[in-house]
Structure 1
Amino acid sequence: MGTWDIGPFENDTAADFANDLDDAAEGERGTLIRRVLMHTAGNRDYLEAPDAEEAVAAAALIAAQCPGGEPVSPHYGPDEPVPSLPTDLSRLAVEALDRVLADESELSELWGEAEDGRRWRDSIRQMRQVLDPTPQTHGGVLFEV
């Protein structure tokens, strides 16, 4: 089926990631989420779509635990509860989302060609804002991401 909507768990790769989380012991779920985010945030080569899709799903799980965060889809997200995640994962999730949106990202390229590409980008930016609500500065100019 591939991708059926813009949500973080509305693609096959993210749904498989949710299954991996369900299969993991409760104490290992946070480690699995951290590993996915570190892999994406640290990628300096071309970022393949499956890696980016997992990172978006992992970031959504963290954002769901933040004030203003959207709950994860009960249909495609993990069935098992995600334990309370360490606050340092928010910063790592922001780095991973920035990498997903950056150049040399297959997922960003694919959504750039799609009819709903703008909605997808807006949803990623909104998730990023939940994870890091502080205004950003660029060249001395204050703006919100």
Structure 2
Amino acid sequence: MGTWDIGHFDNDTAADFGGGLDDAPSDKREALLRDALTAVTRTGREEYLDSEEAVVAVAAAALIAAQCPGGAPVTTPYGPDEPLPPLDPELRGLAVSALDRVVGENSELPGLWAGAGAGEQWAAGVTGLRKVLAEAVV
């Protein structure tokens, strides 16, 4: 995975996901977000979670959080260019569960960030997303 910064879309895999959302018909974008989150939440806590799935789930969570009260807009050029339609609020809880899995045991991504010397900074960004999403769960 090519990574150039700490942002949620600042790696090849998440940037490709953002481009894929632009390529998808508007009525299919929500399903792509749900699929990204479900791919992470369906893995058991004892199963290894690959960083490729994890970065896509974090990117999807960032897009969902952007539609929540207090959520930061996704303004990076590596995210989708096309605005997302209003998303089902039910996705917020799924995004919280996915983020919990991404930062949990047997997940590759926290170790990669720790090894790069940016583990705390990365975790703070994910924690911020989780907070916005959890506060907006209906």
Q: TM-score range by the shorter chain?
A: over 0.9
Q: Which segment is superposed worse, 113-122 or 60-69?
A: 113-122
Q: Deviations over 1:112-137 (max 9, x none)?
A: 22222111000100100000128xxx
> AA paired with 1:6?
I
3-state SS in 2 of match to 1:87? coil
Question: Structure 2: how far apart are the matches of 1:88 and 1:127?
Answer: 16
The answer on 1:40 being equivalent to 2:36 is no
Asked if 1 retains the 8 angstrom alpha-carbon contact of 2:71 and 2:132, the reply is: yes
- The count of corresponding residues between Structure 1 and Structure 2 is 134
Match of 1:59 in 2: 61
Asked if 1 retains the 8 angstrom alpha-carbon contact of 2:92 and 2:133, the reply is: yes
Match of 2:20 in 1: 20
**Percent identity at matched positions?**
53
CA displacement at 1:73 relative to structure 2: 2.7
Map of 1:1-145 to 2, 5 A cutoff?
Answer: 2-44=2-44, 45-133=47-135
> AA paired with 2:49?
L
In terms of fraction of residues, the more helix-rich structure is: 2
Q: What TM-score comes out, normalization by structure 1 length? A: 0.89
3-state SS in 2 of match to 1:35? helix
- CA-based RMSD of the aligned residues comes to 1.2
For structure 2, the residue ranges without an aligned partner over 5 or more in a row are none
Match of 1:141 in 2: none
Match of 1:137 in 2: none
Asked if 2 retains the 8 angstrom alpha-carbon contact of 1:61 and 1:72, the reply is: yes
Asked if 2 retains the 8 angstrom alpha-carbon contact of 1:60 and 1:127, the reply is: yes
Asked if 1 retains the 8 angstrom alpha-carbon contact of 2:26 and 2:85, the reply is: yes
Q: Deviations over 1:55-91 (max 9, x none)?
A: 0000000000001111113311101111110000000
Question: Structure 2: how far apart are the matches of 1:40 and 1:125?
Answer: 17
Q: Which runs of 4+ in 1 moved over 2 A?
A: none
> AA paired with 2:5?
D
3-state SS in 2 of match to 1:46? coil
